[in-house]
Amino acid sequence: MRIPFSAAFRDTAYDVSVSASQLADAQRLVASGKRIDKPSDDPSGAASAVTDHASLNTLDGYTQTNNSATSRLSVIDTTLSDVINQVSAAQTAVAGAKGSTVTQAQRDASALTLQGISDSLLSDFNAQFRGTYLFGGTKSTTPPYTQNSGTVSAYQGNTSTAQVNIGRGPAVPISFDGSAITQGSDSADIFSTLSSVITAVKNGDATGMSQGLDALGRALDRATSAQSQVGTALDSLQTASTKITNEQLDVTNQLSATEDADMASSITRMSQAQTAYQAALAALGRIGTVSLMDYLK
């Protein structure tokens, strides 16, 4: 049976079109390394991939929050270390000013040291992180303490603490009630205490100095306790970070199994598609060279 030239040409051209499309798909697969380019490639796999991508976005958000909270708490930790050092230095200065053998000049020098410590503590409790105050409770835009004519104000913050949740872990504090550290249950905060003890040192008032040392001891305990809370929070963040990293790895592996192509198989498929395409082109070429006399034979 003789096949009309037009039919043979049409069929061969169709084969070229199909093989070209298959080659293009194989080349895309190898180039991208992804077996799912559109939902129709694998509807079930595409739906699973969408879920996995959403999970990774959520985990990335947790990571950013964790990193920010860790940086913030690290600043608080460093600040509290300085508070502890300053209060310890104040205790040393007051203790050194006690005794009948201490001269007035020595007491005056100790008083100057204590004033410098008070100024340093004011700076510490007004510490900021990215423009927000760390020791004002949740009043992050208001300085916890101000100073006017050498006198430090009462606490300007509140007693609440800002907290963040990292994934499914416990909430961790990222700000502190400064008054819980500077005053606690005492009748006066540390700035008033230092002001009183400075006066006692200048006047050689042993009783006043002893009372000041007791108050400074309690302030030191409060600062140490606050730093322990920060350490616990940082440990929690580190644990959460490890869990998040492990979850990201699991989801990434799962997503890779869903989306990624088997490269060895894909390259083989591309080679086969290339061979088929070249064969189809060759067949079309042969049909195109048939003469009228060949067709009439």
Q: What does the domain layout of the chain look like in residue ranges?
A: 51-254, 262-297
Neighbours of 245 (CB within 10 A): 13
Contacts from 27-32 at CB under 8 Å and sequence distance 24+?
Answer: 27/270, 29/261, 29/266, 29/269, 29/270, 30/261, 30/263, 30/266, 30/267, 30/270, 32/261
CA distance 112 to 129: 30
Spatial contact of 157 and 175, defined as CB atoms under 8 Å apart = no
Q: Round to whole Å and give the CA distance between 38 and 98.
A: 82
Position 179 scores a pLDDT of 97
Instruction: Give the pLDDT score at 169.
Output: 74
- List Cβ neighbours of 195 (8 Å cut-off, separation of 6 or more): 118, 151, 152
pTM of this structure: 0.77
- Give every residue of the chain whose pLDDT is below 50, as ranges: 1-2, 262, 291-293, 295
Encode pLDDT of 190-211 as tens digits.
999 999 999 999 999 999 999 9
Residues 6+ apart with CB under 8 A from 241: 63, 66, 70, 166
- Tell me how far apart the alpha carbons of residues 160 and 149 are, in angstroms, rounded to a whole number: 29
Strands of the chain, DSSP E: 128-129, 132-133, 147-148, 151-152, 163-165, 171-173
Here the tokens at position 252 are 């990434």
Q: Which CATH architecture has domain 51-254?
A: Up-down Bundle (1.20)
Residue 16, strand partner residues: none
pLDDT digits 0-9 by tens, 129-144: 999 999 999 999 999 9
Q: What is the pLDDT of residues 153-183, one digit of tens each?
A: 999 999 999 999 887 778 899 999 999 999 9
